[in-house]
Structure 1
């Protein structure tokens, strides 16, 4: 494949949408059970939902938010790598590692939400992102 690094980008975007669907599928019934009327809500914050809904329900929404934060850097750096024609081989492999770590991080956060394994997974995925960034810099500044 010409730019294999595009595949992990699409998979992580798909996974982010899966997490969004999971958050909605658990949050709406929990809101109904808590007596929250969406039609009457005005200007609420995430903290309001955290107070009103069970923690395990909120974990999915929190993870969805996380998937719209650091992964934006992943999308950008992978796009740079693809545009420089260096998106195959080791860069594609590192991108897949990043995506796998983020998916496992999501599953941990959305189910048991233990901080230590989440932190380790986040740290490892960040190291993969650093490696991709260095490779992108080498491709752009060579």
Structure 2
């Protein structure tokens, strides 16, 4: 932030980040923030499935598939940041985490 003249002032920092920081650097910061959103749901669901002992092949493949999709999403976001490519990967990963959530609900209820 110092390199680009962004002052840690609560009133101007958001606007400065958008205008003074180059896009390729902002993409990496935005991607980091995104890793605190939907993936946290995945962590809770995957941990719950593991704790109840679900080792069905679908569960294992879906969990690894979700992980791979999120890695791919991060790579796209941090490098080329093509929105439609990111959206396609995000949509697919959303379906996978929804399937894992449904699997958890099926086993619990």
- TM-score, normalization by structure 1: 0.70
Report the Cα distance in structure 2 between the residues aligned to 1:47 and 1:104, rounded to whole angstroms. Answer: 29
CA-based RMSD of the aligned residues comes to 1.6
Which SS does the other structure have where 2:67 is aligned? helix
Matched, 1:36 2:3: no
Counterparts of 1:1-20 in structure 2, within 5 Å, are: none
Query: Which structure ranks higher in relative contact order (CA pairs < 8 Å, sequence separation ≥ 6)?
Result: 1
- Is the aligned partner of 1:130 residue 2:98? yes
- Once the two structures are superposed, the pairs formed by residues 14-93 of structure 1 within 5 Å of their partners are 31-36=1-6, 41-43=8-10, 45-93=13-61
* Separation (CA, whole Å) in 1 of partners of 2:105 and 2:59: 12
TM alignment of 1:108-123, pairs within 5 A: 108-123=76-91
The C-alpha deviation readout for 1:26-46, integer Å capped at 9, x for no partner, is xxxxx3432335xxx232544
Q: Which runs of 5+ in 2 are unaligned?
A: none
2:92 & 2:61 partners in 1: Cα distance? 14
1:24 — aligned with what?
A: none
Aligned partners of 2:23 and 2:86: how far apart in 1?
A: 16
Supply the distance in 1 between the matched residues of 2:90 and 2:71 (Cα, whole angstroms): 11
Shift of residue 88, structure 1, vs aligned partner:
4.6
Q: Which moved more, 1:80-89 or 1:118-127?
A: 80-89
1:78 and 1:87 in contact (8 A); partners too: no
Contact 1:108 1:114 in 2 (8 A): yes
TM-score (normalizing by structure 2): 0.90
**Structure with the bigger percentage of helix:** 1
